[in-house]
A and B are shown apart, each in its own frame.
Chain A
Amino acid sequence: SQQGEEDPQALSIQEGENATMNCSYKTSINNLQWYRQNSGRGLVHLILIRSNEREKHSGRLRVTLDTSKKSSSLLITASRAADTASYFCATGNTNAGKSTFGDGTTLTVKP
């Protein structure tokens, strides 16, 4: 199964509300990254958080990492219709040299 598993699979909210997505993983990691994918497009890198970090911010994005629970969350504040996309987490392990993706959360922000 995938290393990263996002929760929920789908999320629908109104513009202006906050959206929270969670990611759980199974093995040890060096970093965890969140990506965004618009329908039919490639992935856009949003934020990377390292295993020794607990929280990171980037604009309206806030990412947390709890290595004891092997989980991460992505919070999008004051959501906009343009935030509608699929969001994936990917765990990185320097030794493995590759990232493993979860199934993603499909976010719909209604105007």
Chain B
Amino acid sequence: GAVVSQHPSRVICKSGTSVKIECRSLDFQATTMFWYRQFPKKSLMLMATSNEGSKATYEQGVEKDKFLINHASLTLSTLTVTSAHPEDSSFYICSAREDTVQETQYFGPGTRLLVL
């Protein structure tokens, strides 16, 4: 099946610093990728839809200046958490939708962010 990778898998940073998370589709092209946030024992909350070559579409309540998304190529989207605070600590998961078969999303393994 299609593979999506995320890097890093785990990151610890100090409050006030910025953290970049990469999401790559390894064996398919993805015009559209999605970024989710998941709290412990909770469901995935869609943060934004990342569109290659255009601006991301953010869900209501998600600060676009706080969570910067760049989808520069058909296989790479990045999420940058700017000026991170402890409340940003969470599990961030990306998914990619294959251009040829648009119904299914393939998920990355997730990135655990801990802000001290």
Contacts and interface: CB of A to CB of B under 8 A. Distances in A.
B51 to A, nearest CB: 10
B103 A31 contact: yes
A30 B103 CA distance: 9
B112 interface: yes
Interface string B39-78: 0011110100100000000000000000000000000000
Contact of B108 (A42, A88, A104): A42
B104 A33 contact: yes
A41 interface: yes
Interface in B91-109: 91, 93, 95, 102-109
Interface stretch (A64-72, A73-81, A92-100): A92-100
B93 to A, nearest CB: 6
A82 interface: no
Classify the secondary structure of B's interface with A.
strand
Contact-residue bracket for chain B: 20 to 34
Contacts of A42: 4, 6, 93, 107-110
A26 to B, nearest CB: 15
Nearest to B105: A99
Contacts of B42: 103
A41 B44 contact: no
Nearest to A6: B43
A50 B103 CA distance: 9
A59 interface: no
B110 A40 contact: yes
A80 B46 CA distance: 31
Given A2-B43, A97-B32, A45 B105 contact: yes
Given A43-B95, A104-B43, 14 more contacts: A33-B105, A35-B107, A40-B91, A41-B110, A42-B6, A42-B93, A42-B107, A42-B108, A43-B44, A50-B103, A88-B43, A98-B46, A98-B49, A100-B46
Interface of B: 1, 4, 6, 32, 34, 41-44, 46, 49, 91, 93, 95, 102-110, 112
